[in-house]
A and B are shown apart, each in its own frame.
Chain A
């Protein structure tokens, strides 16, 4: 990840390069979203529009499920809010790492902060700037929008075995982002394992978005307590 070539590239191209993995990971999910949207009965415009404007995988699948059940507008929007409120925490963390820039630029790149964009940007060495984040999220975004449309129009997904294999892609990416940090800082391992275990308990009683928030905050607080004890 820290090859010499990368440090010489301008921020935008570094972002494009780092975003390739996300683009690959999004492909099967977006294809599946397009296909499912077609089966739900919404139009191609709605499908591509949802990916274009909302750009949030889990909540888009949930919206399709709720639409199919005939759920009301307010409930669908509220459920989306519940699932996506976790990004508040992720943006707070990105804000710590972001280089000082105009609010306008921040408002633009804020749109692209999905789980995956957050994961790649926040594990990057050093700070993050708008050019890097534009490149990174542009890759993720194009893959998401284009493949949603292809999934709808083609009406078929990838071959079953490959599709099944591709379901690991984003998890493998998260692991690939975590391991270099784990090798460097022991606290990264503690934080990740604690959050994973807490999340396993919290998903039993909370909606998935809140479970992630609770597990993340819980692990970070526990880390603080332990560090205080050690002092």
Chain B
């Protein structure tokens, strides 16, 4: 299979795509930091912005965590392990490794 023709993209086309992706990724990350003056933001909006991390974490976790395997319960088990270990106050790396070890072991059994 000739990949160059399969892709239908030349070397420079891929670089143009990468350049475009770079700009549309960087600009949204950068604009608020240089354009917004945190001291001039009204208190109500500032409070809402400080609430964003918790909401964003919820949306980043769910329902994505269920999609890591065909079986929904697989991700759910990993999530429950993470919640349990995190609740004990363990270090973040311990939380991550515990879930990974439990799910790797489960994957061997599946």
Residues of A within 8 A of B (CB): 1, 20-21, 24-25, 40-43, 46, 49-50, 53-56, 59-60, 63, 67-68, 70, 73, 76-78, 80-81, 84-98, 100, 103, 106-107, 109-111, 113, 115, 118-119, 122-123, 160-162, 164-169, 171-181, 183, 185, 187-188, 191-200, 203, 211-212, 215-217, 219-221, 223-224
A96 near B93 (CB under 8 angstroms)? no
A42 near B82 (CB under 8 angstroms)? no
Instruction: With CB as the reference atom, state the residue of chain A lying closest to B87.
Output: A179
Residues of B within 8 A of A (CB): 3-4, 6-9, 11, 13-22, 24-26, 28-34, 36, 38, 41, 44, 46-65, 68-69, 75, 78-79, 81-83, 85-87, 89, 91-93, 95-108
B63 near A183 (CB under 8 angstroms)? no
Main SS at interface, chain A? helix
A43 near B7 (CB under 8 angstroms)? no
User: How close is A45's CB to chain B, nearest CB, in angstroms?
Assistant: 9
- Complex alpha-carbon distance, A207 and B59, angstroms: 13
B52 near A93 (CB under 8 angstroms)? yes
Q: Can you list 27 A-B contacts with CB-CB less than 8 angstroms, sorted by A residue number?
A: A21-B92, A42-B7, A46-B18, A54-B18, A84-B29, A92-B36, A92-B52, A94-B32, A95-B33, A95-B49, A106-B33, A107-B30, A107-B34, A161-B107, A162-B100, A162-B107, A167-B103, A168-B100, A169-B100, A172-B95, A175-B95, A178-B86, A191-B55, A192-B61, A195-B58, A196-B58, A200-B62
